[in-house]
């Protein structure tokens, strides 16, 4: 069978990061009383004449059988009314948290492929942080997300996207799974076909009728057999069963923002310290914008006090710019509108540029005189 498959590439280092019950976790973080409930993110069907779909469910709700895309009325039937809680989705809030998490990813590599607000692939074969293994980089990312957002995530590390995703799903929540090249086929052999990304319920049923229930069963099937029954998809299933996935991480999407932030221990109570920090941030952002050939049109300041109250303020820059002094002047004005946070102590201070535009020209040096 293998001779009909493409040659495997085991040289890459791919991370798949997946936030744990993302929407529900954000709501439980912001309202800790929900953590003891079977939390459903979706409209309460008792208030919508039975209409609504589950966007996500926390792990308590999942123990009752609730899951994403299930009608909320069905979730209500599964879970006792004194145990269940419904919260309507707040996608504006989820997008803001997702953007923060993605900034942490971009600190490691620009090869980031977002699959959803709560899920992304990172190719760290080359990275920005130095000579660290993919596992060290993934652990660093997972720990930073938890420290900065108080949310948990799971990751898988392997040499391709398919295996990395298998890994992130394998040990949820707050899991870490590494699948090495010499372990891949054995790992896949032990997995039920239901855990293979891309094999949906209808295909699972077809496989069950063929007495195919595990990765080991898939590995015994010929490519011709899979092609005959599942056409093009069958060829990809054959590759995946043997740990082959040549898809690149598509990191070509244009950056929507560039930012930096830090949690302070002890907290900041001095205006001078805050402004000095913002000046350093402005210089750092200027350097990043110039490196990426960007100019920013909007500046955003983020501030969180010791009571965990968080505020973001934004302002248009006087004109598109990547100059540190211009960024700092606007940052200083923005800070003056939130400096009351100094009384409680500033726990987190962040600055980001958004509405990025690519420079319309590049500076070039021309050799006007040449010598033979």
Long-range contacts of 98-105 (CB under 8 A, 24+ apart): 98/22, 99/256, 99/257, 100/148, 100/149, 100/261, 101/19, 101/145, 101/149, 101/151, 101/153, 103/257, 103/258, 103/259, 103/261, 103/352, 104/141, 104/144, 104/145, 104/148, 105/17, 105/141
Nearest-angstrom CA–CA distance, 158 and 177? 9
Nearest CA-CA partner of 289 in 364, 353, 332: 353
* Nearest partner of 168 among 323, 16, 369, judged by Cα: 16
Task: Output the six-digit token pair for 205.
Answer: 């049923």
**Would you call the peptide bond into 173 cis, given omega within 30 degrees of 0 as the criterion?**
yes
**119 catalytic per annotation:** yes
Per annotation, catalytic residue among 119, 136, 185, 283:
119
Task: Point out the residues that are catalytic.
Answer: 119
């Amino acid at each position: 069978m293998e001779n009909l498959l493409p040659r495997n590439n085991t040289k890459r280092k791919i991370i798949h990061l997946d936030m744990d019950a993302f929407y529900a976790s954000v709501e439980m973080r912001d309202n800790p009383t929900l953590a003891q409930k079977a939390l459903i993110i979706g409209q309460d069907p008792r208030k919508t004449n039975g209409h609504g779909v589950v966007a996500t469910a926390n792990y308590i709700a999942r123990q009752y059988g609730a899951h994403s895309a299930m009608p909320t009325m069905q979730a209500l039937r599964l879970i006792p009314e004194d145990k269940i809680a419904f919260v309507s989705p707040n996608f504006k809030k989820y997008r803001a948290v997702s953007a923060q998490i993605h900034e942490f990813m971009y600190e490691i590599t620009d090869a980031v492929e977002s699959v959803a607000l709560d899920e992304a692939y990172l190719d760290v074969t080359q990275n920005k942080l130095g000579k660290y293994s993919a596992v060290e980089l993934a652990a660093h990312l997972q720990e930073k997300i938890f420290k900065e957002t108080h949310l948990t995530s799971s990751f898988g590390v392997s040499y391709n996207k398919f295996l990395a995703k298998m890994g992130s799903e394998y040990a949820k929540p707050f899991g870490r799974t590494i699948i090495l090249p010499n372990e891949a086929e054995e790992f896949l052999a032990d997995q039920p076909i239901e855990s293979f990304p891309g094999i949906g319920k209808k295909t699972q049923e077809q496989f069950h009728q063929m007495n195919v229930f595990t990765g080991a069963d898939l590995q015994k099937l010929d490519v011709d057999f899979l092609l005959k029954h599942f056409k093009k998809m069958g060829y990809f299933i054959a590759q995946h069963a043997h740990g082959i996935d040549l898809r690149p991480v598509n990191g070509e999407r244009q950056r929507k923002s560039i930012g930096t932030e830090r949690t302070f221990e002890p907290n900041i109570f001095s205006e001078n310290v805050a402004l000095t920090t913002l000046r350093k941030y402005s210089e750092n952002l200027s350097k990043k914008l110039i490196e990426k050939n960007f100019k920013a049109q909007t500046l955003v300041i983020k501030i969180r006090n010791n009571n965990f109250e968080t505020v973001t303020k934004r302002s248009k820059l006087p004109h598109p710019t990547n100059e540190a002094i211009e960024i700092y002047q606007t940052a200083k004005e923005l800070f003056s509108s939130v400096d009351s946070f100094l009384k409680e102590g500033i726990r987190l201070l962040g600055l980001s540029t958004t509405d990025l535009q690519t420079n319309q020209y590049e500076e070039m040096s021309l050799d006007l005189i040449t010598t033979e």
